[in-house]
Chain A
Amino acid sequence: MPGGDKALFVEFGDAIDPAINLRVKRLMQAIAGEKPEGIIEAVPTYRSLLVYFDPLRISLSALKDKLYHLAQPQAEDTTVKPRVIEIPTIYGGEFGPDLEFVAEHNHLSADEVIKIHAGRPYLIYMIGFLPGFPYLGGMSSQIAAPRLDTPRAKIPKGSVGIAGNQTGIYPVESPGGWRIIGRTPLNIFDATREPPALFQAGDYLTFVSINLEEFARIQEAVAQGKYVPKVRAME
């Protein structure tokens, strides 16, 4: 599908589905690997890849041929396991003012909410809305909660929230209406870092519950540029 004269949408389906998203990710990786002449950048989303190109360097038909070729499944695909990035998070208290609400709303204890939220992998379908904001899939409906009626003017950077069936992290301070249940000391987005986000679309995140001392220690290490995020391969 055309997006004007400098962008082309490659659509793999019309659903929020990990299998569709995986095809988006693979085409993204194929483009990043081969860097075809005339392609400027690409934006992976739930179910399509938006490819920006220079029509004076590559014709639309040549681009379509190229993308069709790159989108063919490669044999090695099955052997590459996605990455899981650990997001240490302190739950509740001043860092997660809505944890109690989410618990009461779902007739659970705060500890049960934490247990359900942490320790499971969430697929990053795409990054958007704010620089570094991950759209995550896979949250349990047992801890779903409605948005605030009146959004807060300021949500601190690193806040972890729930809105409906979704969970996410605020990468920068921002206004917002999500129910905030915790905060990570990690800088998930840093404009001066290369790449600026800790993760990319197609990776998985997992939240790890930490206490106040661990929060302070990690925050200090992050400030000194000494913190190395924990990353493992998906099982």
Chain B
Amino acid sequence: MDTFEVVQPGPLTTVQDLGRYGYQQYGVPSSGAMDSYALRIGNMLVGNAENAASLEITLFGCQLRALQDTVVAVTGADLGVTINGKPAPQWQAIPVRKDDVIAFPRLNSGCRAYLSVAGGFSVSPVMGSASTYVRAGIGGYEGRALRKGDVLRTAKPMRQPAQVPIPHRYIPAYGNRITLRVVLGPQDDYFTDEGIRTFLSSDYTVSTQADRMGYRLEGARIRHKAKADIISDGIPLGAVQVPGDGLPIILLADRQTTGGYTKIATVISADIPLIAQAKPGDTVRFRQVSPDEAITALREQEKMIESVKLLLH
């Protein structure tokens, strides 16, 4: 079914699900929603499987026209969503009529909003996923970001959308200052003690070089003992890479699968949505936790998502 026409694409709007797994060994990044929490809740609200394909809408400017009646949910960043110019609620299922225009006109907080639709967006999966990897033209809508005039199809809804909004405590607040919890390693031994202290005690600023591949930060330079290069190894999601210039780069969904720079730490899974919603100019601090604490935080986040699921259905 043709469900939406793109009136304005905005700076970067792509189809994403929870990512592509099993192909990093062939050099294919996992991609997927930068903020998986927002994507999963959005899909639950419209009665989809958590992994259904949704739109990831970066910053403001995107406008879509409905080609038929449907139900959507907007989660993640607050981009001042409107329907026919009137403010619409986020984090709940909202009915949309044929010819309604959904717009994302301004940036209030966060960086990426997710539009989930009943049934999910329908694109041919590539290597088992609907996610778009723009750099290599893989997946999503013709392997690219959406353009004006694109017509988006959706699949048949499987179940009823949620009748209630989700309680406030499950809605993240996106501030301009975030603290990211990290597990040190795998190459923290390449840094001086002073370098590690600098990393864990400085305010960093998100630079303008921040995209789905990674976020370059500006601030205090982190000192290596000797060299910044390693024999290339794999790059986990959230890896904090520090090249020779001493400035950290947080590697995210579209990161390359392998790399040859030292990685001082990894952002814990539960905090990936926080950095995904940060934008240039925001302040980032790092706080060290143990691997056990990281897993506890992940378990708590999964419990929250389970609770939302129980509340909605």
Query: A28 — which chain B residues lie within 8 A by C-beta?
Result: 25
A44, B233: Cα distance in complex, Å: 8
A82, B22: Cα distance in complex, Å: 22
Question: What is the count of residue pairs linking A and B with beta-carbon distances less than 8 angstroms?
Answer: 144
Q: Are A50 and B136 in contact (CB under 8 A)?
A: no
Number of interface residues of B (CB under 8 A): 43
In angstroms, how far is the closest chain A Cβ from the Cβ of B179? Answer: 16
A44, B234: Cα distance in complex, Å: 7
In angstroms, how far is the closest chain A Cβ from the Cβ of B168? Answer: 26
Q: Would you call the interface of chain A mostly helix, strand, loop, or mixed?
A: loop
Residue of A nearest to B186 (CB): A1
Q: Are B27 and A127 in contact (CB under 8 A)?
A: yes
Q: Are B237 and A132 in contact (CB under 8 A)?
A: no
A7, B267: Cα distance in complex, Å: 11
Q: Are B28 and A50 in contact (CB under 8 A)?
A: no
A196 contacts chain B at the CB level, 8 A cutoff: yes
- The listed residue with most B CB atoms (<10 A of its CB), out of A16, A43, A127, A132, is A43
Query: B258 — which chain A residues lie within 8 A by C-beta?
Result: 43, 45, 126-129
A28, B237: Cα distance in complex, Å: 20
Query: A6 — which chain B residues lie within 8 A by C-beta?
Result: 236-237, 269, 298
Query: A48 — which chain B residues lie within 8 A by C-beta?
Result: 233-234
A101, B137: Cα distance in complex, Å: 33
Given contacts A14-B231, A55-B295, A131-B136, contact A7 B28 (CB under 8 A): no
Q: Are B295 and A46 in contact (CB under 8 A)?
A: no
A38, B186: Cα distance in complex, Å: 21
Q: Are B302 and A4 in contact (CB under 8 A)?
A: no
A215 contacts chain B at the CB level, 8 A cutoff: no
B126 contacts chain A at the CB level, 8 A cutoff: yes
Q: Are B298 and A9 in contact (CB under 8 A)?
A: no
A43, B266: Cα distance in complex, Å: 17
Q: Are A196 and B28 in contact (CB under 8 A)?
A: yes
Q: Are A1 and B25 in contact (CB under 8 A)?
A: no
Residues of chain B in range 8-38 having any CB-CB distance to chain A below 8 Å: 21-28
In angstroms, how far is the closest chain A Cβ from the Cβ of B84? Answer: 39
Residues of chain A in range 54-79 having any CB-CB distance to chain B below 8 Å: 55-56, 60
Residues of chain A in range 119-142 having any CB-CB distance to chain B below 8 Å: 126-133, 135
- List 4 other contacts, CB 8 Å, given A3-B236, A4-B237, A56-B298: A5-B269, A28-B25, A128-B258, A196-B28
Interface residues of chain B, those whose CB is within 8 Å of chain A, are 21-28, 126-127, 136-139, 182-183, 185-186, 231-239, 256-259, 263, 266-269, 291, 294-295, 297-299, 302
